[in-house]
Amino acid sequence: MSIKTVFDSINKDWLIETRRDLHKIPELDFQLPRTIAYVTHILDELGIKYRVGVGKSGIVADIEGQDKDKTIALRADMDALPILECSSKGYKSTIDGQMHACGHDVHTAILLGVGKALSENREVLPCNVRLIFQPAEETSGGALPMIEDGCLEGVDAIYGLHVDPTIECGVVGIKYGAYCASSTDVKIEIEGKSCHGAYPSQGVDAIVTACSIITSLQSIISRNIDSRDSAVLSLGKINGGDKENIVAQRVVASGTLRTLSNDVKVRAKERIKEMVENSAKAYGAVGKVSYADGYSALVNHDEYVDIVKANAKELLGEKGVYEKKLANMGVEDFAYYVEKVPGAFFNLGVGNISKGIVAPLHNDKFDIDEDSLELGVKLQVLNIFSTYKKLTSNCQ
């Protein structure tokens, strides 16, 4: 069988060594010179064609398969976090204050492992495969710049995975529909009129106005958003006033709005604007709201989640799939890929309580059960073969 041929060529020791090499050289944002050099060196050894500098510092590699008209993409993020690693292991970070605490070294190693297995078995590869190595997932987002540079041109479907230490190694986490929230920065400005604190009636108190507005805004979530939808408004910063005995003239509050659908985001933004402007007016002040949209909501295509689910069961058995019921209210810029082409984002279990591998993501002690590397490669290979079958059966 062609998939068995690919599986037989997967080298677990090579995967572990590759992941450890990457773990030693964590880099941030778009500044990934050592990571890029490492990845491209392996691609050169494998004879895989690639482009560097896609979306500033991304890499797009292509493996040609039998059907030149179909292309399935896999994405891995490469950047790390500004965290000082707390570890005595031989593969700990060699760069002070920087660490692969979110598992992007694992994602990159798995993608390279898929590339190695497929490039060594091109004669059984049913279609083209594109490997997308992305920068800056942890910061401003590398997905959009890569898409703008054409990384999805000709792509028919895409998959992405993320390690999850809360799931045991040997289990895959899936989520139908909305997987991650969108994020919008919210800035509220209240302009009143200052006066002596002994005579507040001579002014307009921006602090009193702002306090009333901030409290009232939470009613948007409970009374203006359908209870079956999700939205979170968190105002984490507020500044106002100049002196204890002066009625404040100006207050600025800022925070984030997170939703799982664009319709809810639009509705919430409208209500926030209406409430700030009208409530401020009721107090005799002027209220203004401004927004800066961040990542979109990541919404999986259910039929592609079905493929991941079926393949995880084939690989790991019935107990090898954990179906998540609740969406993550954090953000993930894989959202932009599945806005353009169909696909799915899923979790690879990397925890192991018996081995003491329990630290959460973004923790200075984060590590993985390295048995998960081989499982990640096998699952992505199965996803490619199954997706090609789906794409071609739909054409018939």
Contacts 24+ apart (CB under 8 A), 5-10: 5/121, 5/124, 6/117, 6/118, 6/121, 6/124, 6/381, 7/117, 7/378, 7/381, 9/116, 9/117, 9/120, 9/121, 10/113, 10/116, 10/117, 10/374, 10/377, 10/378
Number of residues that make up the chain: 396
How far apart CA 10 and CA 113 sit, in angstroms, is 7
For residue 383, pLDDT over 70 is answered with: yes
Half-sphere exposure of 84 (CA within 13 A, CB side): 2
The per-residue pLDDT for range 201-251, each reduced to its tens digit, is 999 999 999 999 999 999 999 999 999 899 999 999 999 999 999 999 999
The mean pLDDT of 31-42, rounded to a whole number, is 98
**Banded model confidence at residue 394, pLDDT cuts 50, 70, 90:** low
User: Model confidence over 157-209: pLDDT tens digits?
Assistant: 999 999 999 999 999 999 999 999 999 999 999 999 999 999 999 999 999 99
Q: Where in the chain is the domain with CATH 3.30.70.360?
A: 182-293
- The pTM is what? 0.94
If you search the block for the tokens 């993020």, which residue do you land on? 77
User: Residue 237: its pLDDT value, please?
Assistant: 98
Residue 17 one-letter amino acid: E
3-state secondary structure of 158: strand
CATH of domain 182-293: 3.30.70.360
Average pLDDT of span 2-20: 97
Q: What is the pLDDT of residues 320-345, one digit of tens each?
A: 999 999 999 999 999 999 999 999 99
Residue 43 predicted with pLDDT over 80: yes
> Looking at the chain, which residues constitute the CATH 3.40.630.10 domain(s)?
2-180+297-395
Whole-number Å distance between alpha carbons of 272 and 195:
28
Decide if domain 2-180+297-395 falls under CATH 3.90.1200.10. no
Q: What share of the chain is helix, strand, coil (3-state, %, to 5)?
A: 40, 30, 35
- Sequential DSSP letters for 212-280: HHHHHHHHIIIIIS-TTS-EEEEEEEEEE-S-TTEE-SEEEEEEEEEESSHHHHHHHHHHHHHHHHHHH
Mean pLDDT lowest among 115-119, 167-171, 227-231, 266-270: 227-231
Residue 396 has pLDDT above 70, yes or no: no
Checking if the pLDDT of 1 tops 90, the result is: no
